Amino acid sequence: MKKFKIFQTTAIIAMIFSISYVNAQDVDPTSVNPQDLIENATNTTFNPINGTTTYDGASAGTVGTGGSYFGYFAGTAILAGSFYDTFMGSYAGYSTTSGSYNTYLGTGAGIFNTTGNNNTSIGFLAGYSNATGTGNVNLGYYAGFSETGNDKLYIENSTAAVPLIFGDFASDKVGINTKNLVNSVGGANTSAYGLYVKGGILTEELRVRTGWADYVFDANYELMPLKEVAKFIATEGHLPNVPSAEQVDAQGIEIGDMTRIQQEKIEELTLYIIQLQNQLNELTKKVDDLSK
């Protein structure tokens, strides 16, 4: 009786979403209102707990290898060729036919995916529009609602096109408040970068591993004469070996490399000061000698 009451409660909650009971191939995810999820559901067969494939709920899936289907119409379209799917919640994995290794948790999670594999969607209508995508992870209420591709990560609690966290498993990149995981900026190659952030970053400490500029103090280092430095500045409008304002505007800067360049200039300035001090000492000595 307790089990039947639980089912009744679940069914009543599910009914407010209303969807026609149709094959997954006949459903256009973009045309279905999320509030119309289960209207006119007619099959109310209760499925018992089974040994190999575990299922429970009206019209929950009953076949497949190692599958677990719990909830009203959870995995209802599953075919025998699927492997190790886990669907929990009303209409979780509703359209899945031959997809395998998927985990859908929540009402309508992964509802329209038919043949995709290796997906994880947790949350109300998470992964809603993705009909055949593979390797996606959606976490949160409506997470990945409009995504139709593969190997994507969404962490969000709305249908927003740009989630709080977006990732691309294929390229090993992740964005915060951005999906613009570009491989170049103004001609600069950024393909090796893994984290993209829209907006500023506030942190108490930042450590960057980079090269350093102590090569300036090597005996073989060629220190540009100040006369040539002045000529370079007059011609180019910036210091030697320092990016121009135009280049920085277009490409940004690499913090580690820029810190090294600035240190290089500090160490060069130190050498120039030592040179000037030596020249001053020689002039002082000559003046002292002449004054005797």
Q: Are residues 23 and 133 in the same domain?
A: yes
Q: Are residues 150 and 244 in the same domain?
A: no
Residue type, 141: Y
Q: Are residues 260 and 164 in the same domain?
A: no
Q: Are residues 86 and 192 in the same domain?
A: yes
Q: Please report whether residue 209 resides in a domain.
A: no
Q: Are residues 189 and 265 in the same domain?
A: no
Q: Are residues 229 and 161 in the same domain?
A: no
Q: Are residues 86 and 162 in the same domain?
A: yes
Burial of 157 (C-beta count, 10 Å sphere; 0-12/13-18/19+): middle
Q: Where does a domain end: 177, 202, 227?
A: 202
pLDDT, position 49? 54
Q: Are residues 11 and 117 in the same domain?
A: yes
Q: Are residues 237 and 262 in the same domain?
A: yes
DSSP class per residue in 124-181: TTTTTT-SS--S-EEESTTTTTT--SSSEEEE-SS--SS-SEEEETTTTEEEES----
Provide the residue range defining the domain that includes 234: 214-291
**Residue with the two structure tokens 């055949």:** 132
Q: Please report whether residue 207 resides in a domain.
A: no
pLDDT, position 231? 96
Q: Are residues 64 and 167 in the same domain?
A: yes
- Taking only the tens of pLDDT, the chain with its 292 residues reads 444 444 443 443 344 344 433 343 444 555 555 445 444 444 445 555 555 788 889 999 999 999 999 999 999 999 999 999 999 999 999 999 999 999 999 999 999 999 999 999 999 999 999 999 999 999 999 999 999 999 999 999 999 999 999 999 999 999 999 999 999 988 889 999 999 999 999 999 999 988 999 999 999 999 999 999 999 999 999 999 999 999 999 999 999 999 999 999 999 999 999 999 999 999 999 998 888 7
Total domains in the chain come to 2
Q: Please report whether residue 154 resides in a domain.
A: yes
Q: Are residues 197 and 219 in the same domain?
A: no
pLDDT, position 31? 57
Q: Where does a domain end: 202, 225, 252?
A: 202
Is pTM beyond 0.85? Reply is no
Residue 179 contacts residue 196 (beta carbons within 8 Å): no
Q: Please report whether residue 208 resides in a domain.
A: no
pLDDT, position 73? 96
The first and second tokens of residue 90, run together, are 């009303």
Q: Are residues 5 and 149 in the same domain?
A: yes
